[in-house]
């Protein structure tokens, strides 16, 4: 028996201390299935299904992070701090490696991003429990953290983006998530490596919304194959991906492959709210 395992876990580099369907359409995916009414004497205890278990693990992790968490009465959804909604399901991927699991997580704020921040993540492990645990840690460390930091009135002056035009100017506060690192790196990249690659182009994308977001993933295999994704407000950003691919082309591969992933939230400065 071949005992070789596929390892897709991420390391983290933190900064120094200083097109989707309508939301109700997506929530149909997370809606609980109706069950038949069974006479009380005929009820037989059943094991919890994997999606319900997934949500319970996520709830436990959020409670451990000192957030207030409630279950949505209708959907496979958690309500965090009485306003943020997080839905999560396991995606059935044909022929996926037995050590891998695909998760879909939708993070919704009814005012600021009502259509949701849509995220597909991978969890790696030998059991259902370990794959769910890894996938949720991936979400919490890479995506959830900068989303929540986006609601804080704090900023890093060195990362701020001031956009000027002929009539006005707007200041944006980028909230960079941890840089998630895969594979072997002789020299670890800086925490803001991907942001700096795209910094000049980002200013042309920021909309009039209070919040915008950017998701970046790029990897390179030993044979030179490059796989990447660059999504701005859930939509493919081809020009940004082209720039990231150019940088990945220069990488030397020490092992089988290496990759980087980062989520960035952009908050318009409160002083520029109309």
Which of 196, 241, 229, 233 has the alpha carbon at shortest distance from 213? 233
Spell out the per-residue pLDDT of the chain, length 274, in tens: 443 333 345 666 666 543 333 333 333 434 333 333 434 344 344 346 899 999 999 999 999 999 999 999 888 899 999 999 999 999 999 999 999 999 999 999 999 999 999 999 999 999 999 999 999 999 999 999 999 999 998 889 999 999 987 778 999 999 999 999 989 888 889 999 999 999 999 998 998 899 999 999 999 999 999 999 999 999 999 999 999 999 999 999 988 999 999 999 999 999 988 7
Please give the Cα distance from 158 to 155 (Å, whole number): 9
| Those residues with Cβ within 8 angstroms of residue 58's Cβ, 6 or more apart along the chain or in another chain | 78, 86, 88, 136
Residue 9 pLDDT: 52
Residue 216 pLDDT: 97
Residue 17 pLDDT: 41
Give the 3-state secondary structure of residue 72: coil
- In the chain, domain spans: 20-33+45-149, 155-274
Residue 13 pLDDT: 66
CB burial readout 144-168, b (16+ within 10 A) else e: bbbbbbbbeeebeeebebeeeeeee
pTM of the model: 0.82
Residue 116 pLDDT: 97
The pairing of strands 179-183 and 11-13 is antiparallel
Task: Please answer whether residues 134 and 127 qualify as being in contact, where contact means their C-beta atoms are separated by less than 8 angstroms.
Answer: no
Residue 212 pLDDT: 97
Task: Please answer whether residues 192 and 159 qualify as being in contact, where contact means their C-beta atoms are separated by less than 8 angstroms.
Answer: yes
């Amino acid at each position: 028996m071949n005992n070789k395992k596929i390892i897709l876990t991420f390391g983290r580099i933190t900064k120094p201390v200083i097109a989707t369907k309508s939301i109700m359409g997506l929530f149909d995916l997370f809606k609980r299935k109706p069950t038949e009414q069974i006479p009380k004497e005929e009820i037989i205890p059943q094991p919890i299904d994997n999606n319900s278990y997934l949500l319970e693990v996520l709830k436990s992790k959020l409670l451990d992070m000192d957030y207030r968490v409630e279950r949505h009465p209708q959907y496979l959804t958690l309500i965090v701090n009485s306003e943020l909604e997080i839905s999560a399901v396991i995606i059935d991927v044909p022929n996926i490696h037995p050590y891998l699991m695909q998760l879909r997580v939708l993070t919704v704020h009814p005012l600021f991003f009502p259509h949701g921040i849509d995220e597909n993540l991978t969890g790696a492990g030998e059991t259902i429990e370990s794959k769910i645990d890894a996938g949720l840690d991936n979400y919490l460390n890479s995506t959830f953290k900068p989303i929540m930091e986006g609601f804080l009135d704090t900023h890093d002056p060195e990362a701020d983006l001031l956009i000027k035009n002929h009539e006005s100017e707007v200041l944006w506060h980028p909230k960079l998530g941890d840089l998630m690192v895969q594979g072997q790196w002789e020299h670890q990249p800086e925490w803001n490596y991907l942001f700096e690659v795209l910094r000049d182009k980002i200013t042309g994308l920021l909309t009039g919304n209070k919040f915008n977001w950017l998701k970046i993933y790029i990897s390179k295999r030993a044979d030179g194959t490059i796989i990447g994704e660059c999504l701005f407000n859930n939509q493919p950003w081809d020009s940004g991906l082209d720039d990231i691919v150019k940088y990945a082309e220069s990488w030397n591969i020490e092992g089988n492959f290496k990759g980087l992933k980062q989520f960035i939230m952009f908050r318009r400065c409160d002083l520029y709210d109309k």
